Structure 1
Amino acid sequence: MNRLEREAAVRRIMERAAPPVPPDLCAQALRRGARVLRRRVLARRAGWLLLLAAAVAFTVWALTARPWVEPPSRTTPPLTGW
């Protein structure tokens, strides 16, 4: 396709009538955007709440189980030197 043919094709495309746009397109977009925003905010809050609950559960477990303390010996050492 040479330059003149391309220019003619572009002119034909630009001279076409614009497709009809629904009159309530802006209102639909605003509603959809607000809904998406609410869902994102709700998901973010739920994620932070889940993270906080996990941190609290881990803290409570660590304070009750004390994983850093050596467990008591199950056997007694032999008595020598009596």
Structure 2
Amino acid sequence: MSQYERKEEAIRRILEGATPAVPPELLDDAVRRGSRALRRRTAARRAFWTLLFVAAVVFVVWASVARPWVEPPTDTTPPLTRW
């Protein structure tokens, strides 16, 4: 019998055996942790979308004020020399 067959045999014995009793408080802990994780995930998602919306509004306001697509006016003129 090879090592692989011995491991497979041990795993079969474990799986075919009686299932252990689960403590009753385990369900309550799992539900509490799951609901806490769900609340955190929901809060993080809301914060992300809120920040994304605020960033979009700030960008639109900046773009409407600064108008980066317009060429800036020239502030300097060529030097005048005597003829």
Structure 1 residues without counterparts, runs of 5 or longer: none
Other-structure match for 2:73: 72
Say what the alpha-carbon RMSD is for the aligned residues: 3.0
Other-structure match for 1:54: 55
Structure 2 residues without counterparts, runs of 5 or longer: none
Give the percent of matched residue pairs that are identical in Structure 1 and Structure 2.
64
Deviation of 1:21 after TM superposition, in Å, equals 2.4
One-letter code of the match for 1:28? Answer: D
Other-structure match for 1:38: 39
Q: For 2:9 and 2:74, how far apart are their aligned partners in 1?
A: 92
Q: For 2:73 and 2:79, how far apart are their aligned partners in 1?
A: 16
Q: For 2:76 and 2:11, how far apart are their aligned partners in 1?
A: 91
Q: For 2:36 and 2:28, how far apart are their aligned partners in 1?
A: 12
Deviation of 1:74 after TM superposition, in Å, equals 1.4
One-letter code of the match for 1:47? Answer: F
> Secondary structure, in 3 states, of the residue corresponding to 1:62?
helix
The 1:73–1:28 alpha-carbon spacing in structure 2 relative to 1, beyond 3 Å, is: same
> Secondary structure, in 3 states, of the residue corresponding to 1:73?
coil
Deviation of 1:76 after TM superposition, in Å, equals 3.4
Structure 2-normalised TM-score? Answer: 0.71
One-letter code of the match for 2:47? Answer: A
Decide which moves more: 44-53 or 18-27: 18-27
